[in-house]
Amino acid sequence: GFGGGHDEREQTLNQLLSEMDGFDPHEEVVVISATNRPDVLDPALLRPGRFDRTVVIERPDWRDREKILKVHTRNIKLSDDVDLAVIAKGTPGMTGADLENVVNEAAILAARDNESLVDMKYLELAKDKILMGGERKMYISDNEKRITAYHESGHALVAKLLPGTDPVHKVTIIPRGMALGVTQQLPEDDRYHYPKSYLLNRLSVMLGGRVAEQLVFGDISTGAQNDLKMVTELSEKMVCQWGMS
């Protein structure tokens, strides 16, 4: 490619194909490979006699994530209050490596506080750090804290009062990553189908913060920037991809 690099593409593909032609009848070799980008594989690789059997491995659901967490916490001393099912439900889309990262982060946080056991608090903190970014040490005026508090209360109230929404798990105005506050909902189970009513409720929850600011202060702020971005993306998908116009 331009400017150098180590892109091999055709050379690698041709080498693989020549090795897999299988002219020697005395050798039986099974070639196993893995990719997270099956869409870019050359069709020549997937012809019969080559990589002709495909096993699709989906991301684990929360029950599988709970079992994975049990594996990664085998050598870590956990306190009696730890409920791995709660952590598993709060980590949708995470793979085994991600979950191992959560456990390691929790152990580090507990060690920093000279604790001999990892309790639920440290697992929650580790999950928040990985999902939302590290806690930011920054000075925020009382007025801005108040705006953030009402904003997050708006999200939480709409999520609590609308039927069929995911239960509210945590509300915080501690700045993390790029956010000044977070309202976290915890689905009771992994979802594979999203009804239109559920998605409309999600749009309402996302906009609850902006509405709360408007009702309480008679003014709006830039705090809803990320909410509006997510609302735009979700509503666009509803209309353009899922025919919910």
Amino acid 22 reads: G
Q: How far apart are CA 34 and CA 38, in angstroms?
A: 9
Q: Which of 8, 152, 213, 233 is catalytic?
A: 152
Listed in sequence order, the residues at least 6 apart from 104 whose beta carbon sits closer than 8 Å to its beta carbon are 126
9 sits in the region (left: phi over 0; alpha: psi -120 to 50; else beta) called left
Could you give the residue ranges of the DSSP H alpha helices within the chain?
Answer: 10-19, 62-72, 84-89, 96-112, 120-132, 142-161, 196-217, 225-240
Q: How far apart are CA 174 and CA 183, in angstroms?
A: 11
| Cα distances (angstroms) measured from residue 212 to each of 54, 96, 223 | 50, 38, 12
- Concerning whether 100 is annotated as a catalytic residue, the answer is no
Taken in order 237, 61, 201, 206, the sign of the CA dihedral is: negative
109, two tokens: 């946080």
Which of 86, 64, 66, 67 minimizes the C-alpha distance to 188?
86
Contact 65, 83 (CB under 8 A): no
94, two tokens: 């995470």
Q: How far apart are CA 195 and CA 153, in angstroms?
A: 25
Residues marked as catalytic: 152
